[in-house]
Amino acid sequence: MKKNFFIIIVAILFYGNSYAQDLTKPKGGGVIDLITIMPSDSYSDMVFEGQISGYGTVYVVFKVASINSLKNSGTLDGNARTILENGTLISTPLKGSWKRMGSKVKFYFTDAINNGAMNFVMWDVDLLKKKANVKYFELHEAEN
């Protein structure tokens, strides 16, 4: 009985870990520039551009909306366009959440690139330095 119980526990742990996402080893990333912030009453538009490994030159715009009066967390919606090294233009919608701690903001979002690739993405944005440290974790490879 103990042997069967042990085998079941090992099988459950193996099965659960086989679908886990490893967030210790990003597929790629880079440091990109915060070009501008355009504030309004209920949201801000933020524009970024820079080099991301594996994707080349990236152009991103986010609509960042607060969910509380402290304006320290909320949702983000955006779009990205990327020009690969071979000149191919790819694009993706961006959907996620953010959390602000002073002048630093963390973005967490997913993308669904038009070539079939999907990534979980984390940005560490420094509003005063106007830089974002980007890491992405591949969920699905490109189809073409």
Q: Running DSSP on this structure, what letter comes out for residue 13?
A: H
What tens digit of pLDDT does each residue of 61-86 get? 999 999 999 999 999 999 999 988 78
Chain CA centroid to CA 58, Å: 13
- 86-122: pLDDT as tens digits: 888 999 999 999 999 999 999 999 999 999 999 999 9
pTM, to two decimals: 0.83
Q: Any idea what DSSP says for residue 25? A: S
pLDDT band at 3 (very low <50, low <70, confident <90, very high): low
User: Any idea of the CA torsion for 121, 30, 67, 37, to the nearest 10 degrees?
Assistant: -150
Per-residue confidence at 13, pLDDT binned at 50, 70, 90? Answer: low
Q: What are residue 78's DSSP bridge partners?
A: 62, 94
- Domain definitions of the chain by residue range: 28-140
Would you list the DSSP string of 28-79?
Answer: EEEEEEEEEEEE-SSEEEEEEEEEETTTEEEEEEEEEEESSTT--EEEEEEE
